[in-house]
Structure formats: structure tokens, C-alpha cells
Amino acid sequence: MLAYLADWRAEIEDALERVLAASGAPPAVSEPIRYSLVAPGKRLRPILALAAAEAVGHLDGTPTADARALAMPAACAVEMIHSYSLVHDDLPAMDNDAWRRGRPTTHVVYGDGLAVLAGDGLLTDAFAVLAADRSPATPAAGRTASPERRLRALGILARAAGSRGMVGGQAIDLAAVGGSATFDAASLEDMHLRKTGALIRAAATMGAVLAGGDDDAVAAIDTYARELGLAFQIIDDILDVEGSNDALGKTAGKDAAAGKPTFPSLHGLAESKALAAACIERAHAALAGCRLQGRLDEIADWSLGRRK
């Protein structure tokens, strides 16, 4: 991972700790929530929110620390929703996985019922974190986005996480188990733009909105993140074939074993790698067209070359 991303991860994890400390939840559910949320992860989605905020901040001279502070509630909210989705995806009724982020899944440790409730809590609390006038995610001296921008970000996140986005993509994925649904290239792309891509896209777009980006900048980052999200899923599919359990921190080869459609199963490994690279080229072009600077280009290149 790029060196500066470790610093950003530390900022994000500090903010997540503030959110957990302020939750007021009883231990029965706060413990599985904490277990799920602080598990080791790439933190790609919250990092994208911060990077997008910095990129639009460069256009109007907003200091980078101020831009990141404005976007931190979105960064935490999107990571909370991502964590909830992993908890629910791993349940026996869904993907039935016992291993996630390098350790036993939440339902294995706490049982199915508390895993469901922990996911529900993460999903619902995420919107409170984003909506708050003074969010616990925001650093003590950090700036807060206007109510209008927070409302716009809430709409972006709700659409990405809901039935038209991530939930809808997961429903399509469930229907695909064992080859019970017919997939061509377009339907496979549609599933992943919803299941994985929608939340990645929302993360970056919310960061741009909260940091005060104008319509052109927000649209450019939205296009960038759409392409990045699709590339990220293609690489995930490739790593499911080429990776190991230890490297991935989850069970490798499960998609093929379950008969799920993937980019390698439809296109082969070589063509899948070419498709991912083409997505990243389009992501770079979207940023260049709006003269957006910062770390987004580097993050895209890192995502293409990752091995876990």
C-alpha cells in the first residue's frame, strides 16, 4: 500500500474509535459492532472519501486538513455500511463464510442473531454519523459541512446502499449461486456496479460534495469512482482465482466453488486483466478532464496492482 495511505488509515481508525465511543449502545451489541468495524481492512472506501475531498479542495485552495475533516463523517459512515455488508454477506443464509479480514467472521464469534443486529446497528448508525451537525467522526478542531451538503451526501449514501445499489447487487448475486441465473457481460457488470461499485462510487462522490466541490468536479469524481469500483471488483474476481487465503484474509476460490459468475469465468484471466486496466485508464481520463489533482490517480493505480 502507498506509504501515505497508512497515515490516512490511522486518521480514519481514530475517527471510528470516536464514533464507537459516542454510540451509547449496550455491550450486548456494541461488542460485535466493534469486532466487525475495527477488524483489519484496506479502508479503501473511507480513503476515497478523503482523497476526493482533497482533490476538490485543491481547486479552491481549501487546506488539505480542512478538506479531510469535512469528509470524515462520510468516510466513517461508508466504512460502517461496508462493514455491515460484510457481516451480513458472511451469514450462513448468504455466503456462509467463516473467515473475513484475517479472522473468524462475526457470526462465528457471536452467533447469527447478534451478527444480524450488529449489521443493522452499523447500517443505521452510519446515517446518524453523517447527518449530525457536530459528528463524532469530525476531529475536535475540524470544519463541518453545511446542512445542505450533508443532506445531499445522505441521499447519495442511501441510494448506493439500498435496493437500487448494494442490496440489489447482493440479491442478484444470490440468484446467481449454482448458475440459476443467466449472465452475459452486461448483466455481470450491472451486478458488480451495484454490489461493489455503488458504495465505492458513493464514498468518493460524498467526499467531493462535503468538501464543497462544484457540479463539474463532483461529476468527474463520480465517473472516476464508477470506473474504479468496476476495476476493483474485476481484480477481486481475479484474486479469487490467483490468491491464497492468507494473502486475501478470506476464503479464496469460493466464487468458483459456488458456481457464481465472475469476470474470469466469463472472459478468462487475461481479458479480465485488460478490462480492469481499461477501467483505470477511463478513471484517469475523468480526473484529467476536470484538472483534478491529488491522490486519486495514485489510488487507482494501486488498486489495479494490488495482490489482496
Q: What is the tens place of the pLDDT at every residue in 264-304?
A: 989 999 999 999 999 999 999 999 999 898 899 999 999 99
For the beta carbon of residue 252, count every other beta carbon within 10 angstroms: 19
**Cα dihedral across residues 110, 113, 117, 119: positive or negative:** positive
pLDDT at 208 over 60: yes
CA dihedral (89, 94, 98, 104) in degrees, to 10, reads 30
248, 103 in Cβ contact below 8 A? no
pLDDT for the residue numbered 64: 87
Residue 253 DSSP class: T
List beta partners, residue 99: 104
Q: What is the tens place of the pLDDT at every residue in 49-96?
A: 999 999 999 888 888 889 999 999 999 999 999 999 999 999 999 989
Three-class DSSP category at 42: coil
* Domain locations in the chain as residue ranges: 3-305
Reported pTM: 0.92
Q: In this structure, which CATH number among 3.40.50.1220, 3.90.1150.10, 1.10.600.10, 1.10.150.530 belongs to the domain 3-305? A: 1.10.600.10
Q: What's the whole-number mean pLDDT along residues 139-161?
A: 95
User: Out of 68-72, 80-84, 132-136, 141-145, which region has the weakest mean confidence (pLDDT)?
Assistant: 141-145
CA distance 224 to 49: 13
